[in-house]
Amino acid sequence: MSAPGLRELSVSAGGKLAVDIGSTVIKVAELSPDGGVSTQHFFPRDHALSISEQLTQLLGKPSSSTDAYTVSICSSANGGLRVGIICLTSRYSGTVLRNQSLLAGANPVFVCTYAELKRDLPPVDVLLVGGGIDCSDPGPIERLMADFKPEDFRFGSLIFVGNRHLSNLMRSLAPSATVVSNPMASTLTGASDSVFELLRNAYLEDIVHKEGVSDLKPLFRCSVRPTPEVVNLGFQRIVSNRSRVPVSGAAILIDIGGATTDLHYTTEIISDESVNRPPFAASVGRYVFTDLGIVASRDSTMVRLRTHFRCYELLTLVVDEKVDDVYRQLREGEWTAPPAILAYACLFLALERFARGDGPGLPSARLEKVSMFLLTGGAAQMLSEKRIAQVVGLLSRNTVPPAAIGIDRDYRIWIDGIEPVDSASQPR
Amino acid sequence: MTKGRIVIGVIGDDIHVVGNRIMQLALEESGYQVFNLRTRNRPNHFSQAALETNADAVFVSSLNGEGEYWCADFRRHFFEDHRYDLLLYVGGNLVVGRRDEAEVVATFRGYGFDRVYHQINDIGVAIMDLDRDLGHGLP
Amino acid sequence: MAFPSSQAKIESVEAHRGLVLSHPLAQAIDVEEVRSFLSDMPHARFASLAFQNRLSSPYIQPRGGFPRIDDQRRLTEMLSEAGADFIPLTIDSYTRHNQYETAAELLERTEDEEKDYLNGYPLLCHGHLLTRDLYRGIDKPISLRHGTPDARLLVETAIASGITDIEGGGICYCIPYSENFPLDRALLYWQYVDRICAWYSTPDRPIHRESFGPLTATMVPPCMVIVIQVVEALLAAEQGVENFTVSYGQTGSLVQDLATARVLRQVARGMLDKFGFEDVNAYLAYHQWMGQFPSERPLAEALITASALVAQQVGADKIVVKTADEALGIPTAEVNAMATRVVRYVFDVFKIEDTLDSHSIDDEADLIRLEVEGILDRILDLPGATFWQSVFRAFQLGFIDVPFSPHCDNANRLTTLRDNNGSIRILDPGDVPICEEAMAREKSGLGSRSSRPSRDYEAMLADISLMARGL
């Protein structure tokens, strides 16, 4: 594969490069001093090479001189940062750990309480074990924790983030456990961002070893952050009117990927009656649907679509062929949905579940309060604003105004998120 | 040093905040550590909070009469955590309409509450009971 | 660190407006048509002009909002005849929370069953054209009263209806009214409101903005009220608003009422001038007791009468009036008109030449000023690219903390009690940056308390319902 090296990208000394490593595409943007994008390049991911090898080939080996260009990297390669959460209760420690993981750009693969621990949970990069406020008489959690056997789980690293008085108990159960301060401290809603900070810097702090990704840090002397965290920061800039992307009012950003569909939202759309709560004291939340996507999660998306009671309605809006034929073939499992249709299905299914709060830890939203739906990522480029509006319209009642639809055609949002940001945009 | 950890909150869709806040202040002033779940709670919010904090007591309030609906079989929510000793208190305007106090108390005792304060506005009474029930003697 | 500045004015409001006004309930508001409608409206309908030409007594503004237009028209006429200077339009709580569909359903039910299922006027359901008709022939300013964190569409419709006095603000309509609405979002939405109020204003027909000082109306210390009022005045000024009313609710102490008015007026003026907003006119509104009202009518009437005198004494530009039936639910039009007459009578009969002065008022004012300046300095020192971000940070840090707020992110660490004079004293500042000197003075005020309950929470309960029970 021929790819331009650093010289072809013509990055000047002192310049800034932003790199987003996805599972199928590597995006490289050269940033101008005023924060604009001077050039942007897309390279198919060459799976014959490791990520660091391909990136070195693309950018050349950075020189050690101080006036070299600087690189910021984010990655969602290899399914992003997979996190498993073991907590004491779903409403308190489960919610704090899940929300901090989500905002840090990690994908919670499971959240379960000690009482419902089971074997055969999927493998994760990081297993967070937490629960309880910091107190010296922890009560039932002590007995519950004693049943926890690390060998029942498959994980890269195990981090204990629960009641600090139980750290020694955890070390005796799992000698390899790292202990991080309890984000709950003496509250039920979260007193610190310890888990957010931990996961946001997981690639940097050697908490997560991802083939190829972990080698980047010494090579480019740069930060490597989870892409969804970067996109979330970009979204925060947009909704606080600090971006070039104009948005007015409550907004939802959807990033449909190969393995997951990512949802970023302003929290004022969450229904007061919602059982699950958005992150504490934050105006922006995130949720990830790990079963909705157009490549790796294709099969689960198809099953969801096929069994959805409004499947036919959706198809009438998005397929160009004869709907009855497509519908029949789909129901019989004979239809291979093209990527664009899968992307519409991900959009529809994600929003429909968001409206009902149908997902572990997912709050329920009032979609009629949303004034803008934004889409970003590769899959979004295949879609049309008009059809997106129709799909969204399926989920809103008639009296509701047509929300604005925007597609991030020039991949502006992740670049907004990767530039240094001011402190006001940090959660909490 | 705290005299104990108490979970408090308003149950149902009742959004009265003043009484809830005063109760927090009163308990704190009496030396307790308070975890205030505030408004719009369901029974399992209380049981989960009691588990996270290893609470000594849970104090449920309801001012709009929804209590009877939400509190039915309240103690059951705590059984699976084996918290049989946990003190459960309830207070406020617990039922809709005028009903005999003894009857209301009996009903809520049947739901598993240790103490029931129907239309008793003085939080001091409940705090004195709490001190006694937790073995702190009379203040 | 970012100071308030006219640089913070949102430039791109047009793009946002298109989205806001595309809502079907906006009924295709044409902003140029609204401009010309406003330019033809009599000067008497403009709140700012009324304030500029006020003579002696405060203007009187009663309350009231009914779901049906006919009822609202009747209320308007009755209030006007009873001597109201400003006519209120109170919005129902579903519209306040942007739940327009529910408001529409309940309005329909109200009309079918001829029984009110809404606690105010659903402005968006009626729309600007019908609401213009509602005020045909009325030559007094209309004041919009609501409690809406995201009031962009509501205010667009209100101005298009000819309503020129817009109450609210990012803090004062979020922290006391909402459980979950994120404050940073509310601040951004109120920037929009301020911006369009300024956009519609012309020198001889300005749109007026007003903040809501009573907040939760439950034991909020004057320094917190004043800080929030001044911050909202500055945020509005940033967006080009040139006529702004700061306000506060009757504290329960004559000394504290007089001192609060003095400091609020001085600090608001001082801070506006300091940041280059010398052209902004600032006025003062006084809200009659917003806490629990006595249920006995004669006592309620006495309270209304007495607080009318206080409003006159503090030199308020406007008084917002309560009713004798306050403890009993939503007052009728007749009761509202009666309260207006009572206040009118007080103002007509008792003329006041000079405001009262005393050492205790001076001491109180010094203390409040010390606290307000300390808190404002700390807010202005906070990091943030713009002033609103510093304000948001101040809320996150608990520098801004409103007692008895239902909001899930409010710090709830500030606690207060009354002293022997009924003045609100700070018992524990929580994270609010109040200097040691000020706290020592607050504490010494409380130290002299006598014949009060020994426990703080018992005293607090008594203090909250001061007017309902008496000391």
Q: What is the DSSP letter of C433?
A: -
Most confident of A51-65, A102-116, C359-373, C445-459: C359-373
Does the residue C106 lie in any domain? yes
DSSP element (H, E) containing C143: strand C142-145
Domains of chain B (ranges; CATH) run 5-133 (3.40.50.280)
CATH number at residue C147: 3.20.20.240
Q: How far is CA C227 from the centre of its chain?
A: 13
User: From residue C88, how far is each of C73, C190, C323, C378 by CA, in Å?
Assistant: 11, 20, 14, 36
Average pLDDT of chain A, as a whole number: 87
Give domain status of residue C286, yes or no: yes
Looking at residue A386, its amino acid is: K
Cα–Cα distance, C139 to C129 (Å, whole number)? 18
Number of neighbours of residue C383 by Cβ within 10 angstroms: 12
- Cα–Cα–Cα angle for A324, A328, A330, rounded to 5 degrees: 115
- The tokens describing C117, both together, are 């299922």
The encoded tokens of residue C332 equal 């009728």
Tokens of residue C45, six digits: 């309908």
Residue in C156, C167, C326, C364 annotated catalytic = C167
Tokens of C403: 């007692």
β-pair partners for A374? A253, A406
CA distance B104 to chain A (A): 28
Strand partners, A124: A155
Asked if residue C193 belongs to a domain, the reply is yes
**pLDDT reading at A276 higher than 70:** yes
pLDDT, tens digit, for every residue of C289-340?
A: 999 899 888 999 999 999 999 999 999 999 999 998 888 878 899 999 999 9
Residue A425's pLDDT band (boundaries 50, 70, 90)? very low
Chain B residues with beta carbon closer than 8 angstroms to that of C457: 22, 25-26, 29, 123
Reported as a single tens digit per residue, the pLDDT across A399-416 is 456 788 999 998 889 998
Q: What torsion do the CA atoms of A80, A100, C190, C168 make, to the nearest 10 degrees?
A: 160
Which of 245-284 (C) contact A at CB < 8 A?
A: none
CB A10 within 8 A of CB A24: no
pLDDT reported for residue A61: 67
| Smallest Cα distance from C356 to chain A, Å | 45
When pLDDT is averaged across residues B62-73 and rounded to a whole number, the result is 89
Q: Are C90 and C65 in contact (CB under 8 A)?
A: yes
Question: Percent of chain C having pLDDT more than 70?
Answer: 98
Q: How many CB atoms lie within 10 A of CB B76?
A: 12
Do A281 and C104 count as a contact with CB atoms less than 8 A apart?
no
Mean model confidence pLDDT for chain B: 91
CA-to-CA distance for C82 and C94, rounded, in angstroms?
30
Q: Does C1 touch chain B (CB under 8 A)?
A: no
Q: Averaged over C273-300, what is the pLDDT?
A: 95
Mutation target for C interface from B21, B30, B121, B123: give the one with most C CBs within 10 A. B21
C23 Cβ partners below 8 Å, 6+ apart?
Answer: A401, C153
CA distance A23 to A257: 9
Q: Do B52 and A88 touch (CB under 8 A)?
A: yes
Distance CA C144, CA C208 (A): 10
Task: Determine, for residues C456 and B124 on separate chains, whether the beta-carbon distance falls below 8 Å.
Answer: no
Residues whose CB falls within 8 Å of the CB of residue C51, separated by 6 or more in sequence, listed in order: C59, C208, C243, C245, C281, C283, C317, C318
Of C271, C203, C193, C282, the closest CA to residue C243 belongs to C282
Neighbours of chain A (3+ CB pairs under 8 A): B, C
**Residue B26 main-chain phi, psi, to 5 deg:** -65, -45
Strand ranges of the sheet holding A82-87, from the earlier edge strand across to the other edge: A107-113, A82-87, A124-129, A155-160, A178-179
Element (H, E) at A179: strand A178-179
For C75-96, the pLDDT digits (tens) are 999 999 999 999 999 999 999 9
Q: CA-CA distance, A251 to A408, in Å (whole number)? A: 14
Predicted TM-score (pTM) of the model is: 0.91
Domain that holds residue C135: 6-349
**pLDDT value, residue A4:** 46
User: Chain-centre distance of CA C189, in angstroms?
Assistant: 17
On the 0-12 / 13-18 / 19+ scale of CB atoms within 10 A, A368 is buried
Interface test with B, best of C93, C218, C457 (most B CBs within 10 A): C457
Element (H, E) at B83: none
Say whether C63 is catalytic: no
pLDDT at residue A3 above 70?
no
- List, in order, residues 6 or more apart from C453 with CB less than 8 Å away: C459, C462
DSSP conformation letters of C289-302: --SPPPSSHHHHHH
Straight-line distance from the first to the last Cα atom of chain B, in angstroms, rounded to the nearest whole number: 16
Would you give the DSSP letter of residue A162? S
Looking at the annotation, which residues of B are catalytic?
14, 16
Q: How confident is the model at residue A186 (pLDDT cuts 50, 70, 90)?
A: very high
Asked which of A216-220, A329-333, B103-107, C389-393 is least confident by mean pLDDT, the reply is: A216-220
Chain C hits for A372, CB-CB cut-off 8 Å, are 19
List residues of A whose CB lies inside 8 A of any C CB. 239-242, 246, 248-250, 266-268, 270, 272, 280-283, 368-369, 371-372, 397, 399-402, 404, 422-424, 428
Nearest neighbour of B21 by CB, restricted to C404, C455, C456: C404
The predicted structure's pLDDT at residue A420: 62
Confidence label for A383 from pLDDT (cuts 50, 70 and 90): very high
Q: Which residues contact A152 (CB under 8 A, 6 or more apart)?
A: A117, A119
Interface test mutation site (partner B, options C179, C216, C461, max chain B beta carbons within 10 A): C461
CA distances from residue C216 to A107, A165, C316, C463 in whole angstroms, order as listed: 40, 40, 21, 14
Secondary structure in 3-state letters for C436-456: HHHHHHHHHHHHCCCCCCCCH
Average pLDDT in the A58-64 region? 69
Is C401 domain-assigned? no
Alpha-carbon span A274 to C100, nearest angstrom: 19
* Pairing of the two strands A16-21 and A25-31: antiparallel
Largest separation between any pair of C-alpha atoms in chain A: 67
Residue A397's pLDDT band (boundaries 50, 70, 90)? low
Asked if C284 and C317 count as a contact pair (C-beta separation under 8 A), the reply is yes
Q: By CA distance, what is C458's nearest residue in B? A: B26
Indicate whether C188 belongs to any domain. Answer: yes
> What is the gyration radius of the CA atoms in chain A, in angstroms?
22
Please give the DSSP secondary-structure letter assigned to residue A372.
Answer: E
Total tally of structural domains belonging to chain C: 1
Residues of A with Cβ-Cβ distance to B80 under 8 angstroms: 115
Distance CA A377, CA A77 (A): 14
CB hemisphere CA count around C225 (13 angstroms): 31
Contact C253, C360 (CB under 8 A): no
CB contact under 8 A, C19 and A248: yes
Cα(A405)–Cα(A375) distance, rounded to whole angstroms? 8
Distance, in Å, from the CA atom of A398 to the CA atom of A402, rounded to the nearest integer, reads 9
- Tell me the pLDDT band of A275, cut-offs 50, 70 and 90: confident
Q: What is the pLDDT of residues B3-35, one digit of tens each?
A: 999 999 999 887 788 999 999 999 999 999 999
Looking at the domain assignment, is residue C376 inside a domain? no
Q: What is the pLDDT of residues C366-413, one digit of tens each?
A: 999 999 999 999 999 998 889 999 999 999 999 999 999 999 999 999
A398, pLDDT greater than 60:
no
Q: Residue B63: its pLDDT value, please?
A: 86
Mean pLDDT of the residues in chain C: 93
Q: What is the dihedral of CA C266, C269, C270, C275, to 10 degrees?
A: 160
Residue C349 predicted with pLDDT over 50: yes
- Asked if C319 contacts C343 with a C-beta cutoff of 8 angstroms, the reply is yes
Whether residue C118 is predicted with pLDDT greater than 90 in this model: the reply is yes
Q: In the 8-state DSSP scheme, what is residue C408?
A: T
Q: What digits encode the pLDDT tens for the residues A134-163?
A: 999 999 999 999 989 999 999 999 999 999
CA separation for the pair A193, A176 (Å, rounded): 23
How wide is the angle at C-alpha C381 spanned by C-alphas C375 and C384, nearest 5°? 120
pLDDT value for C280: 98
Residue range A6-34, pLDDT digits in tens: 445 556 656 788 999 988 889 999 887 77
Region of A177 please: left (phi>0), alpha (psi -120 to 50) or beta.
beta
pLDDT band per the 50, 70, 90 thresholds, residue C270: very high
Domain membership flag for residue C43: yes
Q: How confident is the model at residue B66 (pLDDT cuts 50, 70, 90)?
A: confident
Statement: residue C241 has pLDDT above 90: yes
> Which chain A residue's Cα is nearest to B83?
A140
Q: In 3D, which of C335, C336, C342, C282 has the Cα closest to residue C309?
A: C342
User: CB of C368 within 8 A of CB of C267?
Assistant: no
> Helix, strand, coil: what percent of chain B each, to 5?
40, 20, 40
Number of continuous H segments (helices) and E segments (strands) in chain C: 18, 10
Between CA A50 and CA A52 the distance in angstroms is: 5
> Alpha helices of A50-150 — where are they, by DSSP H?
51-59, 93-103, 140-146
Q: Hey, what domains does chain A have and what are their CATH numbers? A: 6-78+210-226 (3.30.420.40), 81-200 (3.40.50), 246-407 (3.30.420)
For residue C38, give Cα distances in angstroms to A181, A326, C158, C206. Answer: 60, 57, 12, 10
Tens of pLDDT, residue by residue over A162-182, are 999 999 999 999 999 999 999
Q: What is the β-pairing status of strands C142-145 and C87-90?
A: parallel
Lowest mean pLDDT among A85-99, A194-208, C233-247: A194-208
Question: Could you say which DSSP state residue B31 is in?
Answer: T
CA distances from C330 to B38, C63, C121, C434 (A): 27, 10, 13, 39
pLDDT of residue C10: 87
Residue at C116 is within a domain: yes
Q: Worst-scoring range by mean pLDDT, A15-24, B58-67, C134-143?
A: A15-24
- What pLDDT does A400 receive? 56
**Are residues C197 and C339 in contact, defined by beta-carbon separation less than 8 angstroms?**
no
Q: State how far the alpha carbon of A247 is from the alpha carbons of A127, A405, B45, C98, C362, in Å.
A: 37, 10, 36, 18, 49
Nearest CA in chain B to C415: B25
Query: By the 8 A CB rule, do C29 and C160 touch?
Result: yes
**C457 with B40: Cβ contact below 8 A:** no
